[in-house]
Amino acid sequence: MHQGSRLLIVDDTPQNLQVLGGILREQGYKLSVAQSGAQALEVARRVLPELILLDVMMPEMDGFEVCRHLKADPATAEIPVIFLTAKTEAEDVVRGFELGAVDYVTKPFNPPELLKRVQTHLELALLRRDLEKQVEEKTSQLLQAQRLESMGQLAAGIAHEVNSPMQFIGNNTDFLSQALEELAALRRQYHQLYEQARIGGAVAPELLEKMAVALEACEVEYLDSETERALGKIQEGVKRVVEIVEGMRELAHPGGREKVAADLNHLVHSAITVCRNEWKYVADLTLDTDPGLAPVQCFPGELSQCIVNLVVNAAHAIAEAAGPGGAKGQIGVSLRPAGPWAEIRVEDNGTGIPPEVQPRIFDFLFTTKEFGKGTGQGLSLVQRVIRDHHAGEVCFETAMGKGTTFLLRLPLSQA
């Protein structure tokens, strides 16, 4: 099944190349050859073979040296290397393995053995690539699953957050429709008054009387100011709902494989909004953004998930420190550029993190919280997203009884 794979064979002795080449070519492998270490590196980088058979003893640059260079270059690091060695000293073999070789064969070759080893390592390399691909797929599925899960956890709170503005939108709409009815009655009176005035007759005193009563009844000045206020409330409510829904959409967005330029001010603001119900009972939150900050290339859904996780953790730590019915705490969220980074800080005056817990907080499934409150996925996700997906950094400072600050650093310019 690997016939047709490209192999690179490296040996400074032409006869060796001939023998080796003969055996391999007969099996249908495609071959590239090199007769020195330097040439081997050049060919390896150019043709990217699937496996390299590498002589150890060569003048100038020996096989070990070549192997070291291959492993140091990301382009060639994954290519399996099998050493060809005349010497069978254990020391040499061990050194080869330490340098990242997968196997060795001793000269003179035993063709069936050589072929078997080549085939085995081609298979292993294929399996490994396949496995890496699977791990990558699983990882992104897991990320998505975690996000959906925490969306689920936020859902009740979000419903509540949407419900209260909807309620006052409803109340104010009721008021407006009532006010409109009263104004319509008044308008009918005006209409009659106008009709009478238009035909030139004297305006009947009863009509003026009715008019006065109608005006009195609907307290026009009151209506004017109240309808304006009600409209303002409705607009405010609609804005809140839109913000929440937008935040949800940002959070739920599965995100493509490509980063997009996002306004972090907006992103942080909506992340805080969607999880408002999780913190508003235990803390006041101050948000300090930087409107001048240029858009940053990122995966917005993942980032907003990170901020939600940190803010929810901060709220939990404050609630725990305060105890039931305790005083409200403080959460500070800030965003600012610092050198090559955009820095996002989430600060709380909660419990702090005990020294023995600190080394474990980023571990997947590590939690100190009771079942149902924490799953131990939050910070591991934060780390994966910030470090692995954004080439950023995550760190924290904490003091028992004082509180904790998490710091996320995102590169302002992404490679």
Q: x/- site string to ligand ADP, residues 285 to 324, per CB under 6 A? A: ------------------------x---xx--x-------
Instruction: Write b or e for each residue in 164-193: b if 16 or more Cβ atoms lie within 10 A of its Cβ, otherwise e.
Output: ebeeebeebeebbeebeeeeeebeebeeeb
- Point out which span in 203-211, 218-226, 280-288, 376-384 binds ligand ADP (CB under 6 A): 376-384
Which residues make beta-bridge pairs with 330? 284
Total site size for Mg ion, rule CB under 5 A: 2
* Cβ-based neighbours of 396, under 8 Å, separated by 6 or more: 353, 361, 404, 405, 406, 407
String of DSSP letters for 196-218: HHHTTPPPPHHHHHHHHHHHHHH
Rule CB under 5 A: choose which of 172, 313, 349, 404 binds Mg ion. Answer: 313
Q: Yes or no: say if 366 and 376 are a contact pair by the CB < 8 Å rule.
A: yes
The sheet with strand 329-338 has its strands ordered as: 283-288, 329-338, 341-348, 403-411, 393-399
What six digits make up the tokens of 80?
């399996």
**Other Cβ atoms within 10 Å of 162 Cβ, number:** 17
Nearer to ligand ADP, 267 or 314 (CB): 314
* Residues 377-396 interacting with ligand ADP (rule: CB under 6 A): 377-380
Beta bridge partners of 408: 344, 394
Of 76 and 305, the one with the shorter C-beta distance to Mg ion is: 305
Q: Which of 301, 332, 378, 392 binds Mg ion (CB under 5 A)?
A: 378
How big is the chain, counted in residues? 415
Q: Which of Mg ion, ligand ADP, none sits in contact with 8, Cβ below 5 to 8 A by type? A: none
Closest CB to Mg ion among residues 87, 373:
373
Work out what residue 351 binds among Mg ion, ligand ADP, none; the CB cut-off runs from 5 to 8 Å by kind. Answer: ligand ADP
Q: How far, in Å, CA of 268 to CA of 289, rounded?
A: 8
350 binds, among Mg ion, ligand ADP, none (CB under 5 to 8 A by kind): ligand ADP
Q: What are phi and psi of 262, to 5 degrees?
A: -125, 145
CB of residue 273 to Mg ion, shortest distance in Å? 18
- Cis peptide before 14, with omega less than 30 degrees from 0? no
Estimate to the nearest angstrom the gap between the alpha carbon of 62 and the chain centroid.
Answer: 45
* C-beta closer to Mg ion: residue 97 or 281: 281
Region binding ligand ADP by CB under 6 A among candidate stretches 29-37, 43-51, 166-174, 359-367: 359-367
Q: Which does 368 bind (CB under 5 to 8 A by kind): Mg ion, ligand ADP, none?
A: ligand ADP
Binding of residue 332 to ligand ADP (CB under 6 A): no
Binding residue for ligand ADP, selected from 374, 393, 397, 402, defined by CB under 6 A: 374
**Distance in angstroms (rounded) separating the CA atoms of residues 364 and 165:** 37
DSSP letter at 387 equals I
**Which among 81-89, 206-214, 255-263, 372-380 is the span making contact with ligand ADP, rule CB under 6 A?**
372-380
Q: In the bound complex, what is the minimum distance in angstroms from residue 381's beta carbon to Mg ion?
A: 9
Q: Does 367 interact with ligand ADP (rule: CB under 6 A)?
A: yes
Burial 400-413 (b: 16+ CB within 10 A, else e): eeebbbbbbbbbbe
Residue closest to Mg ion, measured at CB: 378
Using the minimum distance from each CB to Mg ion, give the nearer residue, 20 or 379. Answer: 379
Task: Report the residue from 357, 391, 399, 400 that binds ligand ADP according to the rule CB under 6 A.
Answer: 357
The count of residues interacting with ligand ADP (CB under 6 A) is 22
With tokens 């990320």, the residue in question is 143
Binder to ligand ADP among 85, 289, 304, 351 (CB under 6 A)?
A: 351
What does the DSSP assignment read for 276-337? HHHHTTTEEEEEE--TTPPPEEE-HHHHHHHHHHHHHHHHHHHHHHH-TTPPPEEEEEEEEE
- Contact, 189 vs 211, CB < 8 A? yes
Shortest gap between Cβ of 318 and ligand ADP (angstroms)? 8
Q: Which stretch binds Mg ion (CB under 5 A): 64-72, 131-139, 168-176, 372-380?
A: 372-380
* Residue 391 binds: one of Mg ion, ligand ADP, none (C-beta under 5 to 8 A by kind): none
Binding site for ligand ADP (CB under 6 A): 309, 313-314, 317, 348, 350-351, 353, 357, 361, 366-369, 374-380, 404
Binding site for Mg ion (CB under 5 A): 313, 378
